[in-house]
């Protein structure tokens, strides 16, 4: 059976992107993303949980993220989940999951209380663009 590893997240940056370069001068940027989930509990009370995710991007995309995004900005991230392990200075084994960014869309601020309206707006814009492209095709 084939394996599948795809992550889609939309949320706000929790900190400014941190740009660095590998020894062969490939740009690497690390940033945090917070996604919120809201729901109504069985007792009728409003509940919310926040998930904090570490993300990493490479190359030109990393440079663009560093240039155009900052703490609090809304972004839609597509990537894959990676698992990092290392030995800390005190000799203990450490590990964490991280999203390796394959594609990112910088989302406009719409004044919405959450990202749902921004996502709906983005999908509507995409649908309009797709319809325009279909109308322009002469066959």
Residue 119 shares a structural domain with residue 71: no
Note down the domain range covering 14: 7-107
Q: Is the pLDDT of residue 136 over 80?
A: no
Please name every residue paired with 52 in a beta bridge, in sequence order, or none if there are none.
34
pLDDT value at residue 116 = 52
What is the structure's pLDDT at 77? Answer: 97
Compute the distance between CA of residue 82 and CA of residue 19 in angstroms, rounded to an integer.
19
**Rg of the chain on CA atoms, in Å:** 18
**Closest alpha carbon to 50 in 74, 29, 39, 34:** 34
Structural domains in the chain (count): 2
Q: What is the mean pLDDT of residues 92-98?
A: 94
What local confidence, expressed as pLDDT, does residue 65 receive? 96
Instruction: Examine the domain organization and report whether 101 and 133 are in the same domain.
Output: no
SS3 readout for 29-96: EEEEEEEEEEEECCCCCEEEEEEEEEEEEEHHHHHHHHHHCCCCCEEEEEEEEEEEEEECCCCCEEEE
Of 107, 88, 84, the C-alpha closest to 97 is 84
The CATH number of the domain holding residue 20 is 2.40.50.140
Q: Are residues 30 and 84 in the same domain?
A: yes
Query: What is the pLDDT confidence band of residue 110, given thresholds at 50, 70 and 90?
Result: low
Query: Quick check: 15 pLDDT over 50?
Result: yes
Is 43 within the bounds of a domain?
A: yes
Residue 93 lies inside a defined structural domain of this protein: yes
89 with 119, same domain: the answer is no
- Domain membership flag for residue 2: no
Whether residues 51 and 25 fall in one domain: yes
Q: How far apart are the first and last CA of the chain?
A: 39
Does some domain include residue 139? yes
Cα 61 from chain centre:
13
Determine what percent of the chain is predicted with pLDDT higher than 90: 72
Determine the pLDDT at residue 109: 73
Give yes or no for residue 76 having a pLDDT over 70.
yes
Residue at 82 is within a domain? yes
Q: Identify whether residues 38 and 89 lie together within a single domain.
A: yes
- Answer yes or no: is pLDDT of 132 > 90: no
Rounded Cα distance between 122 and 110, Å, is 10
Indicate if the pLDDT at residue 128 is higher than 50: no
1 in a structural domain: no
């Amino acid at each position: 059976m084939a394996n599948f590893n795809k992550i889609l997240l939309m949320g706000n940056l929790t900190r400014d992107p941190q740009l660095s370069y590998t020894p062969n001068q490939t740009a690497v940027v690390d940033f945090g993303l917070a996604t919120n989930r809201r729901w109504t509990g069985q007792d009728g009370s409003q509940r919310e949980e926040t998930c904090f995710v570490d993300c990493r991007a490479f190359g030109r995309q990393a440079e663009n993220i560093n240039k155009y995004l900052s703490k609090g900005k809304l972004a839609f991230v597509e990537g894959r989940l990676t698992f990092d392990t290392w030995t800390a200075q005190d000799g203990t084994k450490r590990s964490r999951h991280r999203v390796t960014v394959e594609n990112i869309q910088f989302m406009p601020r719409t004044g919405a209380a959450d990202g749902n309206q921004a996502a709906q707006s983005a999908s509507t814009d995409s649908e309009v663009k797709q319809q325009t492209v279909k109308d322009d095709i002469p066959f």
